Structure 1
Amino acid sequence: MTSISYVQGPGDTPRLGVTIGEALAETARRHPDREALVVRETGERFTYAAFDRAVDDVAAGLLALGMRRGDRIGIWSPNNAEWAILQFASARAGIILVTINPAYRTAELEYVLNDVQCRALVLARTFKSSDYVAMLDSIPPDRLPHLERRFVIGVPAESAADLPAGMTPFATIAAAATPASRTTLATLRADLQFDDPINIQFTSGTTGAPKGATLSHHNILNNGYFVGRGIGLRDGEKICIPVPLYHCFGMVMGNLAAITHGATMVYPAAGFDALATLTAVAEERCAHLYGVPTMFIAMLEHPGFEEFDLSSLRGGIMAGTSCPIEVMRRVMNRMHMPEITICYGMTETSPVSFQSATDDTPERRVATVGRIHPHLEVKVIDAEGRIVKRGERGELCTRGYSVMLGYWGNAAKTAEAIDAAGWMHTGDLGVIDEEGYCTIVGRSKDVVIRGGENIYPREVEEFLFTHPRIASVAVFGIADAKWGEVPCAWVKPNPGETLTPAEVVGFCEGRIAHYKIPRIVRIVEEFPMTVTGKIQKFIMREMMEREAGG
């Protein structure tokens, strides 16, 4: 056994050397009559043959409408059939899918679309309190100079006149397909390479402001495949996917795991709903269920929990943030999920690097994030870049097929994150024990993880700085029993100005995603500072947690 904190995953199972489009086509050839996708909210059900045809139609339609290999198309929507179809159609046509958080508001949407120069956007009409069509329509076209087409989900073709100028129903994409575009698609399918970029996901990663992590077919298809192997996914089983598709958890660990194993994707609702998820598991007889700890807690605490037959479950994934041991035991026992696994990773690594085994003890599953994934390497280094001994903490660095191609259009930030030897510096602090299990002990960057959603304080701070009466602001996370962490803000007004916490929160509402809005705001005259003038967020965090009762 090596004494240094370096581990590498087994390579006895070969990686998949195909594109996402071809992986789907192969599964459809093998299992044409098996269900590929079930969307509970709308009642839509697709066999693999039907799903593959729908993907072909949309891919050919996009080409007929002028989209080309390497163009970017955004999707801004909660979970639905169109989301899944576009994921695979864009991949089949070589068009790069830009996944946009449905909680984003206009400022964030505008930034994303312009940063990667999206030529088209697919968006939901509404979801909960979000009116996506109105938000997009409120942005003057001259501020989105690259955006040529806007397709709206959930609008019948005959209702196109009800949409604002420049927007058309999603159904018009497939309807636009022509014999010529289908011929072009067939040629493309033979020409696309699995190392081509195919997905951009926005993350602040380890180096500050939001950047587009660019992922290839090979990155995410293989990660989904090995995650599926990690949960013991069997041919023909169903995965209940209540987690959002815009994130790797849904689109990679869910959708791509399913299609690479001939399994069925089950979407219980557009967004997470405990009752809808329990109903979907029971009625569809799902074998696996995904979620962050808060989702599992919500299901366990649902008043009708005992009414649902969950005996079909045996495993799944819990990820996003740490899980209390008692919650893990309740999930394993009361939800019939003895084989549930824990996953760890980051968007820039496609995402999973570590995963617990289906037979690890409950203690292992909550105290660690498991062991290294196949075909990957991880080392733990000190501040000077030297590998530390087993049992010592340091920064986790990942190398292998899963490491992103880079941040879109940002070579400098890519070089900061990925060194010359190909190591992705995660910014997470970890410890690897003698048996190869990894424990995450902190973050070198102050990322706040609220119920599985990453909140990057600098991004929120920069937004708050646009308030005309704010002179300085510091955002940080404090512990929360429900969400794991919630964002807090200390705000210093301009000299002579007054400001209330309610005004700060009101400034955020409708302009940034709800989960980024500080839960607690304190108006202050000064911040605790080091002698060199750096704000000491750890002191502020300790003060706020003491006031909140620990």
Structure 2
Amino acid sequence: GEGVLGYQSYEELLSTGTGEALAKVNPEDVQTLMYTAGTTGSPKGCLLPYRKTLHNVLNAQLTFGLNEADVALCTLPLFHSGGLFIQAVPTLCTGGTLLLLRRVRGDPHRLLEALEKGKATWFLGVAFHAKLLAGLEKAEDTYRLEAMRFWAFGGEAIPYDVVEKLQVKWPHIALSFCYGTTETSLSIALPPSKRRVSSYLLAKSTRRAPAGKPMPHCEVKISEEGEILVKGPIVFLGYHENPEATAKAFDEDGWYHTGDLAIMDEEGYIYVVDRLYNVIKSGGEKILATEVEEVLLSHPAIADAAVVGVPDEKWGERPIAFVVLKPGFEEEPEQLKAFCASRLAKFKVPDKIIFVEELPRAGPDKVARGGLRKLVLGD
């Protein structure tokens, strides 16, 4: 009514407009210039068209079953694809509520309090968040999260045993997984489900949860080399002022090469196993960096770990591990090598283990492996 402070009628508001027509846009016009995380080098600017955003929003709404009653808690940065195009924009386009929380900074209580007080119905996180929540003892007794419909996790692959801890702690909350890149956004996903992660056919052998199945509005296939290829309206136009990188990213048939390795089970679920550049080729054998990292992370003294390949005159490449120890723990490199040797083939055991206070990161969920290689090579 007119008694409300700051009241202005709708008619008065319309009369203040200029009457200028909005600019016409084409689905192929660039809407956003978004930069990649730059895990292997300098970040590249991705030219994202309007049609990509539209189809990505449709995919997110379809996958997560979003509606106007949903309350999404967003902790991921809005200058990356996950926070902006998988959570924020789809939530707002559906008429839901978006809660923004600054960096969690390793504090699970802060995250859980925000979910509880905000009555969030869903949350999108990465492996870091899953491990943080799963590792908090008896958190479910303090934070019941009764409003939560589902967790969604993307970015780096989530160890299946970590996910199952979440399922035990909060059995009423469904789980969703998704895969995408800045260039493709949401292209593979698993809708919210309460199915135990260990029941998926390759979860135990790959030690990870499935990313899901190909989404609508795109084509996804796995090449003979095991690389994920994507085509369709959710794919970007190219890299800003970088025609060489653009030409290298697409093949002659228009497929975008993601650089991610994956396998598919008999049910059609896709498991992302590593990055192409994380495959260490040593003496004719292939070593997945993530496989070695998962063994290291199973050690009770290790808080974080990353493995990179460095040139070797005899073998071509050899693995080097960077390890962050938990507070109060002391370990010798040879002890950790012996631990790895008891769980890995001999050629997969790191030649060297380097202790660091923290791992350099490019974004919330990716280790800056290029920076680690420079530490070893000294350039």
State the match for 1:260 in structure 2: 93
Match of 1:234 among 67, 77, 85: 67
1:369 aligned to 211, 220, 241, which one?
Answer: 211
Contact 1:428 1:444 in 2 (8 A): yes
Return the alpha-carbon distance in structure 2 between the equivalents of residues 484 and 227 of structure 1. 31
Of 269, 272, 275, the residue aligned with 2:109 is 275
Q: CA deviation at 1:403?
A: 0.8
Deviations 1:332-384 (A, max 9, x none): 342355422111121111x121111323542337442111101211122225x
Within 5 A, what are the aligned runs for 1:96-111?
Answer: none
Query: C-alpha displacement at 1:227, in angstroms?
Result: 1.8
| Cα contact 1:316–1:337 (8 A) shared by 2 | no
Kindly indicate whether residue 127 of structure 2 is the aligned counterpart of residue 343 of structure 1. Answer: no
Matching of residue 296 in structure 1 with residue 123 in structure 2: no
| Pair 1:310 & 2:145 matched | yes
CA RMSD of aligned residues (A): 3.4
Could you tell me which amino acid in structure 1 is paired with residue 77 of structure 2?
A: P
Write the distance in 1 (CA, Å) between the matches of 2:109 and 2:39.
36
Does 2:281 align with 1:446?
Answer: no
Separation (CA, whole Å) in 1 of partners of 2:51 and 2:264: 27
Give the partner amino acid of 1:278.
Answer: L
In the aligned structure 1, how far is the partner of 2:228 from the partner of 2:237?
A: 19
Per the alignment, do residues 348 and 205 of structure 1 end up closer, same or farther by CA in structure 2, a change over 3 Å counting? Answer: farther
Deviations 1:176-203 (A, max 9, x none): xxx7xx748x533x41333321222222
Instruction: State the match for 1:194 in structure 2.
Output: 27
Structure 2 residue 202 is the aligned partner of structure 1 residue 418: no
Residue of structure 2 equivalent to 1:506 = none
Displacement after TM superposition at 1:270 (Å): 4.6
Distance 2:338 2:182 in 1: 32
Per-residue CA deviation, residues 77-136 of structure 1 (Å, 9 max, x unaligned), is xxxxxxxxxxxxxxxxxxxxxxxxxxxxxxxxxxxxxxxxxxxxxxxxxxxxxxxxxxxx
For 2:47, what is the secondary structure of its paired residue?
Answer: strand
Counterpart secondary structure, 2:144 = coil
C-alpha distance in structure 1 between counterparts of 2:115 and 2:65, whole Å = 18
Shift of 1:489: 8.9
- Answer yes or no: is the 8 Å Cα contact 2:57–2:90 preserved in 1: yes
Deviation of 1:397 (Å): 0.7
CA contact (8 A) 1:294 1:483 kept: no
Where structure 2 has 5 or more consecutive residues not aligned to the other structure, the ranges are 1-15, 281-288, 323-332, 341-379
- Long gaps (5+) in structure 1: 1-178, 384-393, 449-475, 491-526
Q: Do the aligned residues in 2 keep the contact of 1:314 with 1:336 (CA within 8 Å)? A: no
In structure 2, the residue matched to 1:144 is: none
- 1:484–1:256 Cα change, 3 Å: farther
Looking at structure 2, the residues matched to 325 and 487 of structure 1 have their Cα atoms a distance apart, in angstroms, of 20
Preserved CA contact (<8 Å) 1:370 1:438 = yes
- Asked if the contact 2:130/2:163 (under 8 Å) is kept, the reply is no
| 2:220 alignment counterpart | 378
Contact 2:213 2:268 in 1 (8 A): yes
The 5-angstrom pairing of residues 4-83 of structure 1 reads none
How far apart in 1 are the matches of 2:258 and 2:136?
A: 36
Give aligned-pair identity as a percent: 26
Aligned to 1:529: 313
| Alignment match, 2:229 | 397
Q: Distance in 1 between matches of 2:172 and 2:242?
A: 42
Alignment of 1:392-541 (within 5 A): 394-446=226-278, 479=293, 481=297, 485-486=305-306, 528-529=312-313, 535-536=316-317, 538-540=318-320
Q: Distance in 2 between matches of 1:337 and 1:253?
A: 23
1:287 is matched with 121
| 1:22-60 Cα distance to aligned partner (Å, 9 max, x none) | xxxxxxxxxxxxxxxxxxxxxxxxxxxxxxxxxxxxxxx
- CA deviation map 1:258-300 (0-9, x unaligned): 0122111111335554222211211121111121122133234
How many residues are matched?
Answer: 291
Matches within 5 A, 1:169-184: 183=18
Q: What's the counterpart of residue 547 of structure 1?
A: 337
> 1:241·1:266 contact (CA, 8 Å) conserved in 2?
yes
Deviation at 1:420, TM superposition (A): 3.0
Between 322-331 and 439-448, the greater mean CA deviation after superposition: 439-448
Cα distance, 1:208 vs structure 2: 5.6
Supply the distance in 1 between the matched residues of 2:143 and 2:173 (Cα, whole angstroms): 17
1 CA distance for matches of 2:338 and 2:56? 40
Counterpart for residue 21 of structure 1? none
Larger mean CA deviation between 313-322 and 438-447 belongs to 438-447
Could you tell me how far apart the structure 1 residues matched to 2:338 and 2:84 are?
A: 37
Q: Distance in 2 between matches of 1:327 and 1:343?
A: 16
Q: Which amino acid aligns with 2:243?
A: A
Distance in 1 (CA, whole Å) between partners of 2:212 and 2:186 is 11
Distance 1:413 1:204 in 2: 15
Q: CA deviation at 1:219?
A: 1.1
**What SS is found at the alignment partner of 1:347?**
coil
Secondary structure at the aligned position of 1:357 is classed as: strand
| Residue of structure 2 equivalent to 1:203 | 36
Q: In structure 2, do the counterparts of structure 1 residues 395 and 483 end up closer, same or farther at CA, with 3 Å as the change threshold?
A: farther
**Equivalent in the alignment of 1:357:** 191
Work out the CA distance in 2 between the residues paired with 1:358 and 1:303.
Answer: 24
How many Å separate the matches in 2 of 1:335 and 1:200?
Answer: 38
Give runs of aligned pairs for residues 73-152 of structure 1, distance below 5 A.
Answer: none
Check 1:317–1:484 CA distance in 2 against 1; reply closer, same or farther (3 A cut): farther
Q: 1:286 corresponds to which letter in structure 2?
A: A
Going by fraction, where is helix more abundant, 1 or 2? Answer: 1
**What is the one-letter code of the residue matched to 2:130?**
F
**CA distance in structure 2 between the aligned counterparts of 1:204 and 1:300, rounded to whole angstroms:** 26
**Native 8 Å contact 2:68 2:97 kept in 1:** no
Change (3 A) 1:224 1:412: same
Give the TM-score taking structure 2 as reference length. 0.67
Contact 2:307 2:319 in 1 (8 A): no
